[in-house]
Amino acid sequence: MASHFADRLCKAVGSKKTALTVGLDPVYGRLPLAIRGKKGLDNGKNAAQAIDATFDFSLKVLRIVAPHVPAVKINIAYFEQYLWEGIESYYSLVNEAQSLDIEVIGDVKRGDIGHTAQSYALAHLQNPELEGFEDVLAPDAITINGFAGSDGIIPFAEVADKQGKGVFVWVRASNPSAAVIQDFADAAGVKMYEKLAEVVAEIANQKTRIGTSGYSNIGMVIGGTSGSQTTALREKYKNVWFLVPGFGSQGATAADCVRFCKPDGTGALINASRTIIYAYENEKYIAQFGDNWEKCIEQAVIDAKVELAKAMQ
């Protein structure tokens, strides 16, 4: 039987001693010149070259960060923009990541109802059983959009259950305009995202979904920049893992993010994307490592870990 996703997360966070995860949102135009300057990869207007360069960069980043973090988050949109060839590259990357002893989260934000939701779950969570795809591994967990309520969440949860995998439902986003919809409040002051969190928690709290660590395989995405009132979710939903995007470039500080971690360090994954993967654009790291872009990224991961550890004290 497959192990439990939440248990694997606890173990990974314990062994890497951090809640930090690295997000891969690779954009061709920002790749290091050492990669996109290479012959055969230097034409960003050619799909095959752009995909190869993006894959080459992403794989190198994975190998740099894997020894330091419990999990990586791969954003499919940056691959999907290269249509089916980009999607093939995404799955290749997920497979490479699976061999690096880290948890792999596919940031896919799929969302629909019934049979359609189930089809998305088969695409993104289930290790394919079809002839022709036997060697493909899907991510350990994915992000989904829970706008349709439980009918749109349960089909994903059920595939995750069978596969020892996880689901993070997008509950409160980190962008400014999210508040108009997600902080929409009823007469009692309950906000829409709190209602959605309730729906997710009811699914997450099913006994069969709780691992030996006490955590469920169904979690929530809560933006680090969301208001301080979201901290209440930590207290309220003790057996839920939070995936917290927005650390760094999106403006969330270490303190904004670690409020979702329990004192033992479990319970939240804190994701930084651009501040890490583009660290070689940062004057501070350029001064230290010149054009050694890989060193810049490694140091940025180490610095981010230290920053989170300090904020946890």
Pick 86 or 265: Cβ nearer a copy of itself = 86
| Of 274, 283, 276, nearest in space to 307 by CA | 276
Among 59, 123, 309, 311, binds a copy of itself (CB under 8 A): 123
The minimum distance between CB 203 and a copy of itself, in angstroms, equals: 11
CB-based contacts of 121: which residues, under 8 Å, 6+ apart? Answer: 155, 156, 158, 159, 160
38: annotated active-site residue: no
Pick 153 or 269: Cβ nearer a copy of itself = 153
Q: How many CB atoms lie within 10 A of CB 92?
A: 16
Contact flags string 163-202 toward a copy of itself, x per CB under 8 A: -------x--xxxxxxxxxx-xxxx----x--xx--x---
Contact flags string 69-98 toward a copy of itself, x per CB under 8 A: ------x-xx-xxxxxxxxx--x-------
From CA 204, how far away is CA 169, in angstroms rounded?
10
DSSP 247: B
Residue 207 binding a copy of itself, by CB under 8 A: no
φ, ψ of residue 210 to 5 degrees: the values are: -90, 125
Residue 239 backbone zone (phi > 0: left; psi -120 to 50: alpha; other: beta): alpha
Give the active site residue among 60, 109, 195, 295.
109
From CA 194, how far away is CA 145, in angstroms rounded?
15
Max distance between CA atoms of the chain, in angstroms, equals: 62
State the number of binding residues for a copy of itself (CB under 8 A).
68
Query: Are the C-beta atoms of 166 and 160 separated by less than 8 Å?
Result: yes
With vertex at residue 38, the alpha carbon angle to CA 32 and CA 41, rounded to the nearest 5 degrees, is 90
Pick 15 or 229: Cβ nearer a copy of itself = 229
Residue 302 binding a copy of itself, by CB under 8 A: no
Contact flags string 13-52 toward a copy of itself, x per CB under 8 A: ------------x-x---------------x-xxxx-x--
The minimum distance between CB 185 and a copy of itself, in angstroms, equals: 6
| Partners of 142 in beta bridges | 106, 167
Looking at the annotation, which residues are catalytic? 109
Q: Which residues bind a copy of itself (CB under 8 A)?
A: 25, 27, 43, 45-48, 50, 75, 77-78, 80-88, 91, 109-117, 119-120, 122-123, 128-133, 136, 145-152, 170, 173-182, 184-187, 192, 195-196, 199
